[in-house]
Amino acid sequence: MRTEQIPTIFRLKTIYYIFPFWIVILLCLSSNIMPHDLGHFIKSGEIMVENKTILSHDIFTHTYNGLYYINSGWLSHVLMGFCERMGGLKLLIFLKTVFLLFTIGIIYHYYLEDDKTL
């Protein structure tokens, strides 16, 4: 079957260009961070900014004695706390949108670069 006979919407090149938009729609509409988790992250960030130290134990839940706690998301907590303090929830939503658009820009850059080599 020749490429001209395939409808434009089903061509592989078109699917590559539409795919990042579906990723953004799924990421924006799915609730990756539940509201109670968002509050936990923001409050953890505020506490770290106030104390100028990284939390070495979970202050909101009970942890077992001797259990090693790894605070792997400390930077995102600090950024969320800082952004919430500066602009509230609207700034957090705006930054999420900006990061997603930045990610799409990177993906399109690689697609267009790959398209030139073909």
Q: How confident is the model at residue 31 (pLDDT cuts 50, 70, 90)?
A: low
pTM, entire model: 0.57
pLDDT tens digits, one per residue of 88-105: 888 887 887 788 788 878
Q: What is the pLDDT of residue 72?
A: 85
Q: What is the pLDDT of residue 29?
A: 62
Q: What percent of the chain has pLDDT over 90?
A: 3
pLDDT tens digits, one per residue of 48-89: 999 998 888 778 777 676 677 788 888 988 988 888 888 888
Is the pLDDT at 33 greater than 70, yes or no?
Answer: no
- Can you give the residue ranges of every domain in the chain? 3-117
Q: Which residues of 57-93 are buried (b: 16+ CB within 10 A; e: fewer)?
A: eeeeeeeeeeeeeeeeeeeebbbbbbbbeeeeeeebe
How many Cα atoms sit within 13 Å of 66 on the Cβ side?
0
Chain mean pLDDT for the chain: 76
